[in-house]
Structure 1
Amino acid sequence: MAQSTAPFSGFEFMIAWRYLRARRAEGGVSVMTWISLIGITLAVFALILTLAVRAGFRAEFVDTILGANAHVTVYSSGVVGEDGQLIRGFTQPEAMAAAIARVPGVTRAAPLIKGKLMVSDGEDTTGAEVYGMSPEDFAAIPRIGAGSGAIGDLARYPEGIALGSGIARELGVTVGDRVRLISPSGVRTAMGTTPRVNAYEVVYIFTAGRYDIDTTRIYMPFIEAQSFFNKEGRADEIEVMVENPDAIESYGDAILKAAGPAAMLWTWKDSSGAFLRALDIEDNVMFVILSVLVLIAAMNIVSGLIMLVKNKGRDIGILRTMGLTEGSVLRVFFICGAFTGVIGTVAGVILGCVTALNIDQIMSAINWLNGAEVWDPSIRGIYSLPAKLQAGDVLSAVALSLGLSFVVTLFPARRAARMNPVEALRYE
Structure 2
Amino acid sequence: MFLSPFEWTIAKRYMMPGRSEAVIALVAGISITVVMLSVAMLIIVMSVMNGFRAELLDRITELNGHAVVQPYGGRMDDWEQVLEQTRATPGVTQAVPLVEQPLLATYGGRAEAVLVRGNQQEEIDQLKRDVVIGSFDGLQPGTRNIAIGSRLALKMGVQVGDTLTVINPQGRTTPFGTVPRQVGYTVVAIFEVGVYDFDDTMVIMPMKNAQTLLLFGDAISAIEVTTRDADEAREIMAPLAQALEGRAVVTIWQEMNASLFEALQVERVAMAFALSIIVLVAAFNILSSLVMLVRSKSRDIAILRTMGARRKSLLKIFVTTGSAVGVLGTVAGLVLGFLVLLFRQPIVNGLEYFMGVTLWDPQIRFLTELPAKVDPVDVMGIAGMAMGMSFLATLYPAWRAANTDPVEVLRYE
TM-score normalised according to structure 2 size:
0.92
Matched position secondary structure for 1:147: helix
- Write the letter of the residue equivalent to 2:111: T
State the Cα deviation string for residues 244-294 of structure 1 (Å, max 9, x = none).
332212332554577685122112121123432332333222222222210
2:62 to 64, 67, 70: 67
Q: Counterpart in 1 of 2:226?
A: 241
- Which residue number in structure 2 is paired with residue 340 of structure 1? 325
Partners in 1 of 2:245 and 2:78 — Cα distance? 12
Give yes or no for the alignment of 1:93 onto 2:83. no
Instruction: Provide the residue aligned with 1:218 in structure 2.
Output: 203
CA distance in 1, matches of 2:31, 2:242: 63
In the alignment, structure 1 residue 423 sits paired with structure 2 residue 408: yes
Task: Give the match for residue 82 of structure 1.
Answer: none
Which amino acid in structure 2 is aligned with residue 252 of structure 1? M
**AA in 2 matched with 1:117:** L
Q: Report the residue type matching 1:362 in the other structure.
A: I
Q: Where does structure 1 differ by over 6 angstroms across 4 or more consecutive aligned residues?
A: none
Residue of structure 1 aligned with 2:48, choices 49, 53, 58: 53
Deviation at 1:382, TM superposition (A): 0.6
- Kindly indicate whether the alpha-carbon contact (under 8 Å) linking 1:112 and 1:235 is maintained by their aligned counterparts in 2: yes
1:199 aligns with 2:194: no
2:119 maps to amino acid: M
Rounded Cα–Cα distance in structure 2 between residues aligned with 1:73 and 1:175 = 31
1:23 matches 2:18: yes
Cα distance in 2 for partners of 1:247, 1:209 equals: 25
Q: Cα deviations across residues 70-126 of structure 1 (Å, max 9, x unaligned)? A: 322212235xxxxxxxxx522233454344334444343333222222222213322
Tell me, yes or no, if structure 1 residue 36 matches structure 2 residue 26.
no
**1:304, distance to aligned residue in structure 2 (A):** 0.8
Preserved contact between residue 134 and residue 160 of structure 2 (Cα < 8 Å)? yes
Q: Deviations over 1:283-336 (max 9, x none)?
A: 222222222210111110111111111111111111111111111122222122
The 1:114/1:411 distance shift into structure 2, 3 A limit, reads same
The letter for the 1-side match of 2:77 is T
Shift of 1:49: 1.2
**In structure 1, C-alpha distance between the alignment counterparts of 2:292 and 2:116, rounded to whole Å:** 71
Asked if 1:154 is matched to 2:139, the reply is no
Task: Quote the residue 2:125 is aligned against.
Answer: 139
State the alpha-carbon separation in 1 of the partners of residues 16 and 321 from structure 2. 10
Q: How does 1:336-375 map to 2 (within 5 A)?
A: 336-375=321-360
Q: What one-letter code is carried by the residue in structure 2 that aligns with 1:135?
A: Q
Structure 1 SS opposite 2:139: helix
Q: Which residue of 2 aligns with 1:299?
A: 284
Tell me, in whole angstroms, the C-alpha distance in 2 between the residues paired with 1:30 and 1:153.
Answer: 63
Deviation at 1:41, TM superposition (A): 1.1
Structure 1 SS opposite 2:128: coil
Amino acid at match of 2:53: R
Q: 1:175-208: CA deviations, max 9, x gaps?
A: 2111111233322222211222221100121111
Structure 1's unaligned 5+ residue stretches are: 1-5, 79-87
Displacement after TM superposition at 1:241 (Å): 2.6
Which whole-Å deviations, capped at 9, do the CAs of 1:23-44 have from their partners, x for residues lacking one?
2222111111111111111111
Q: TM-score, normalised by structure 1?
A: 0.89
How has the CA–CA distance of structure 1 residues 253 and 327 changed in structure 2, closer, same or farther, with 3 Å as cutoff? Answer: closer
> Is the Cα–Cα contact under 8 Å of residues 147 and 189 in structure 2 kept in the other structure?
yes
1:321 correspondence with 2:306: yes
SS in 1 for 2:185: strand
Contact residue 119 and residue 207 of structure 2 kept, 8 A: yes
1:143-292 to 2 correspondence within 5 Å? 145-158=127-140, 159=143, 160-253=145-238, 255-256=240-241, 262-292=247-277
Cα distance in 1, alignment partners of residues 24 and 123 from structure 2: 69
Q: For residues 415 and 425 of structure 1, what CA distance do their matches in structure 2 show?
A: 16
Deviation at 1:372, TM superposition (A): 4.8
Amino acid corresponding to residue 157 of structure 1 in structure 2? L
Asked whether the equivalents of residues 152 and 175 of structure 1 are also in contact (C-alpha less than 8 Å), the reply is yes
**Which amino acid in 2 is paired with 1:41?**
M
Taking only aligned residues, the RMSD between alpha carbons, in angstroms, comes to 2.2
Q: Does 1:12 align with 2:7?
A: yes
Deviation at 1:403, TM superposition (A): 0.4
Are positions 1:408 and 2:393 aligned together? yes
Specify the code of the residue in structure 2 equivalent to 1:40.
V
1:114 aligned to 87, 100, 109, which one?
Answer: 100
Asked if the contact 1:301/1:409 (under 8 Å) is kept, the reply is: yes
The verdict on how the C-alpha distance between 1:18 and 1:377 changes in structure 2, with shifts beyond 3 A counting, is: same
**CA–CA separation in structure 1 for the residues paired with 2:233 and 2:162:** 40
